[in-house]
Amino acid sequence: MTTETAGPLEASDSGPSSTGSRTTMILGIVTLLALGVLVLFGLILSPADENQGDAVRIMYVHVPSATLSYVGCFMTTIGSAVYLWRKSQWWDLVAYASAEVAALFTAFTLVTGMLWGRPTWGVFWVWDARLTSEAMLMLLLLGYLAVRGIAADYQVRAKRAAIVGLLLVPNVFIVRQSVQWWRTLHQKPTLTLAGAHIQGLMLFSLFTGFVAITLVFIWMVIHRFRVAWLEEQVNAEGLDVAIAERRAEGVVS
Amino acid sequence: MIAAFVVAAATGTWPYVAAAWAVVFGGMGIYALVTVLRGRRLSKNVPPEKRRWS
C-alpha cells in the first residue's frame, strides 16, 4: 500500500503532528500505570497455583489476550457489516484497525498458550479442538489483512475485506464453544457467568490483567484507526494528483 | 534471597513465565512504537484540517 504519494506539508500547519491527542495521552499514562500494577500482582504478589505452580502467572496475560482478540473480531465483524450496509469509511477503518490489533492479540494467545502448555501438558502444541480453532482464527485474521493489502480501488478493497470480516464472529463462536462441543486437552472456562474457579490474589491478578490489557487494546485501536485514516487521506490525495496530471496530459496532447 | 530467585528462575516453570510475559509486553511495546512512528510520518503528508483528533 502506497502511503507517501503526496509531498510533505509546510511546517506552519497547526494540526497535531502525530496520531496522539490529549485523550490518548491520558489513556496512555493510565495504561502504563495499570501495566505496572499487573507486573506487581502477576509476577510478585500472586501465589503459585497448587496444580500449575508458577505457570499460572502466564494465565494473567494469556486469558485477557484471548478475550481481547475476540473483542477485536467482534468489532471487525460489526464494522464490516455496517460498511457493507451504509458504505461508511469510518466503520470500515474501525474494522481494519480492530482486525490488526485482534491479530496481534491472537498471536499473543497462541504463543503464551504454547509456553503454558510445555510445563503443564509436556508439549508446546497438540492438534486439540481449541488450539486448532484458535489457529484457524489467526489464519482468518491474516487473510482479512492480506485481502486489504491487495492493490485495488478503495471501495473494492474495503468490500472484499468486509466480506472476510463477516466470517470472524462465527469463528470466534466455534473457538469459544470448542471446549464444550469436543473432548479437548484444553481446560473448561475459568471464568463463567456462574462464577470463578480461582479466588483471592490469583483472581485479583487476573482481573488486573483484564483491566491493563483492555486499556492497551483501546489505546492501540484508537491509534491504529488514526493511522488508517491518514493512509486513506494520503492515498486519496495521491489519486487526485494522478488524475489531475493525466487530465493535463490529455489537454496538452 | 536474590540468588534463590535467580536459581528458581533458571529452572522449573519460570523461564516459560518470563518468555510469555516478554512476548506480550515486548509485542505490545513494538507495535505501539511502530504505530506512533507511522502516524508521525503520515501526519506530515496530510493537511491539518483532516487530522483533528480530540
Task: Give A-chain residues touching B23 at CB under 8 angstroms.
Answer: 108, 111-112, 115
Backbone angles phi, psi at A9, to 5 degrees: -80, 170
- B26 vs chain A: nearest CA distance in angstroms? 10
**Rounded to an integer, what distance in angstroms lies between the CA atom of residue A250 and that of residue A6?**
22
Query: B44 vs A53: CB contact, 8 Å cut-off?
Result: no
Shortest CA gap B3–chain A (Å):
16
The pLDDT value given to residue A195:
63
Digitized pLDDT (tens) for each residue of chain B, 54 residues in all: 566 555 555 568 899 999 999 999 999 999 999 999 999 999 888 887 777 775
Q: Is the dihedral of CA A253, A7, A231, A144 positive or negative?
A: positive
pLDDT of residue A228: 93
- Tell me if A231 sits within 8 A of A157, measured CB to CB: no
C-alpha cell at A77: 465483524
Helix A154-165 / helix A56-86 crossing angle, nearest 10 deg: 130
If you count them, how many residues does chain B have? 54
ipTM above 0.90, yes or no: no
pLDDT of residue A179: 79
The whole-number pLDDT of residue B48 equals 78
Smallest Cβ distance to B51: which of A7, A8, A15?
Answer: A15
> What count of residues does chain A have?
253
pTM, entire model: 0.85
Of A14, A54, A231, the CB nearest to B42: A231
Give the best residue of B2, B11, B23, B28 to mutate against chain A (max A CB count within 10 A).
B28
pLDDT of residue B4: 53
Confidence at residue B49, expressed as pLDDT on a 0 to 100 scale: 77
**Contact residues on chain B for A7, CB-CB shorter than 8 A:** 45
Q: Give pLDDT < 70 ranges for chain A.
A: 1-15, 188-196, 239, 242, 251-253
- The verdict on B28 touching A (C-beta cutoff 8 Å) is yes
List the one residue out of B1, B23, B24, B11 whose CA is nearest residue A53. Answer: B11
What pLDDT is recorded for position A99? Answer: 97
Any A CB within 8 A of B11 CB: no
